[in-house]
Amino acid sequence: MHASLPRQYLAQFLLFCGLLLLSGCAQTAFSEPKTASYAIAAHPKTKLARYIAPELSAHPNQTGFYPLADGKDAFIARLAIIQSAEHSIDVQYYIFRDDLTSTVISMYLYQAAERGVRVRLLLDDMQSRNDEDMANIAAHPNIEVRLFNPFEQRKARAIGLVSDFDRLNRRMHNKSLTVDGTFSIAGGRNIGDEYFSADSSVEFGDFDLLMVGDIIAPIATQFDVYWNSNAAIPIEHLQGQGSKIPHLELAQWYNEQYQDIATSEYFYTLARLPIIEKLKTKKIPFYWGDAELYYDLPSKLSTPSQENPLLHQISALLDHTKQELLLISPYFVPTKAGALALAKASREGKQITIITNSLASNDVFAVHGWYAKRRQMLLESGVRIYETQVDPHITQQHSWIGSSRTSLHAKTYILDREQLFVGSFNFDPRSAQYNTEMGVVVHSPLFAERIYQRLGNALKKNTYRLALDEDGNIVWFDDHNQKRYTSEPDASLMLRMGAWFSGMLPIENLL
């Protein structure tokens, strides 16, 4: 799901917007002191350090990265590094659900804490969770839980949103998992079944990188910056001190979860994944090259115009693209200025390709309504646009706030087939202005070309190619099945009307 608290509560917001104007913006100060803590440096004798030491010696001062394009691979990779942890685990996510895969990851984190590993869990407070449960987890001497930019109203969140909209509209969308200062995973995935191919009713196509080497220290620093920021509030400051979970209760919980795992077809399929053998035999085919971490500062919450370096860095990357840009964004709302810049680049001879969700696959149709306003101009300028198809076997439920379906969720840019950006940044006003974001820029022509080729092979089978007919109208081509559509494929009349109406509302900056 897109990082958008207003989308979750958009219906309430539209109803209460008049009250919002009257009430103004409340200033919230969480002033209780907290203890600063910092990343634990990598130790050469840990399992993970010994595992990767030969590769690091062969590639000094570089970053190794392995693509996690498959949801099950992404899940196994997380479990593997958590299970191997000996000193520290730093977890930072926008969404951490309460479902099968999230529960298993929670089990692994708690078991790591029981082994003596320090676990720091930093979560955005958009998703409502049980404060008492989180406080009880944080009562473990080796676990700390902090919520980023939390609601003061813990129960009546919609009311809190109305009275404190300007602050609560801004969310932490960063996603990272770092273990023992040696391995990190970062990219577009949150923690939940839909991100790990474990939910039959929804499937998010996403992309992460498993990384080692020089990039790890900057990712750890990024985590510390957020962890020690004023916006990161310890759960005990919101809930009070929790009670450590009794071992008998914990054992019973473990047994219940293991029974679910034992009968799960999902976990049965995991056992046969090739990545497991690669992890065991130390034969993960890492790509190597230079890498940079881009991230916003937590102070973007209060001074967004001055504290959004990631936007400026991405803009500079795009400006320096010489020949070709492939842009993948699930929520593509370029604004008029952004669309004009892309159109201009295309007319100047640069090959611009955009891959985004179709109306049928987009889980927020208001986003599609505003994106659709820019398609005509982009196509007329020569920009190539592809929209993802839905899986007909997955139930479709559209709404302002989300749906169940196949949906693109990756945020990846390939520049001149030499550089690759992988992260949390959507090409939309929300990522640019309101949310904090992060991403890794990889400098590796070999890796960028490989990813480009894989995407190229998938485009014909999994997307609609947009074009203009002889009258200048938009048409959709399913090149794999040799079909042509003259209106939004797989979308009902009501859905098309909803998207069109959304494009008439003055909400573009909220998307």
Q: How far does the chain reach from its first CA to its final CA, in angstroms?
A: 12
Instruction: Pick the catalytic residue from 70, 90, 125, 180.
Output: 180
Residue 467: inside a domain: yes
Angle of CA points 507, 434, 429, to nearest 5°: 50
314 shares a domain with 188: no
405 shares a domain with 301: yes
Domain count, the chain: 2
247 shares a domain with 374: no
Backbone angles phi, psi at 430, to 5 degrees: -65, -50
301 shares a domain with 265: no
User: Would residue 416 show up in a list of annotated catalytic residues for this protein?
Assistant: yes
105 shares a domain with 242: yes
191 shares a domain with 150: yes
Residue 36: inside a domain: no
Residue 19: inside a domain: yes
Instruction: Pick the catalytic residue from 125, 368, 411, 428.
Output: 411
Sign of dihedral through CA atoms 257, 258, 259, 263? positive
**pLDDT reported for residue 394:** 45
Tell which of 281, 298, 327 closes a domain: 281
Instruction: Pick the catalytic residue from 87, 173, 300, 398.
Output: 173
Residue 33: inside a domain: no
**CB of 181 closer than 8 Å to CB of 90:** no
Residue 55: inside a domain: no
The answer to whether the pTM exceeds 0.85 is yes
Residue 38: inside a domain: no
User: Would residue 199 show up in a list of annotated catalytic residues for this protein?
Assistant: no
449 shares a domain with 466: yes
**CB of 398 closer than 8 Å to CB of 345:** no
Tell which of 230, 260, 281 closes a domain: 281
Tell which of 220, 249, 281 closes a domain: 281
Residue labelled with tokens 């001062």: 61
372 shares a domain with 251: no
User: Would residue 173 show up in a list of annotated catalytic residues for this protein?
Assistant: yes
Neighbours of 342 (CB within 10 A): 23
155 shares a domain with 210: yes
Instruction: Pick the catalytic residue from 2, 72, 373, 409.
Output: 409
337 shares a domain with 240: no
Residue labelled with tokens 């987890």: 137
User: Would residue 237 show up in a list of annotated catalytic residues for this protein?
Assistant: no
313 shares a domain with 235: no
Instruction: Pick the catalytic residue from 416, 478, 479, 490.
Output: 416
Q: Which two tokens stand for residue 3?
A: 């990082």
Residue 451: inside a domain: yes
The CATH number assigned to the domain holding 246 equals 3.30.870.10
User: Would residue 175 show up in a list of annotated catalytic residues for this protein?
Assistant: yes
Residue 133: inside a domain: yes
Instruction: Pick the catalytic residue from 175, 350, 373, 398.
Output: 175
269 shares a domain with 364: no
Please provide the size of the chain in residues. 511
pLDDT tens track, the chain, 511 positions: 555 444 444 444 444 444 444 344 443 446 688 999 999 999 999 999 999 999 999 999 999 999 999 999 999 999 999 999 999 999 999 999 999 999 999 999 999 999 999 999 999 999 888 999 999 999 999 999 999 999 988 888 888 888 888 899 999 999 999 999 999 999 999 999 999 989 767 678 899 999 999 999 999 999 999 999 999 999 999 999 999 999 999 999 999 888 888 888 899 889 889 999 999 898 999 999 999 999 999 999 887 665 567 888 888 888 889 999 999 999 999 888 889 999 999 999 999 999 999 999 888 889 999 999 999 999 999 999 999 988 655 444 333 223 335 688 899 999 999 999 999 999 998 998 899 999 999 999 999 999 888 887 788 888 999 999 999 999 999 999 999 999 999 998 898 888 888 888 888 888 7
User: Range of 339's domain?
Assistant: 290-510
**CB of 457 closer than 8 Å to CB of 479:** no
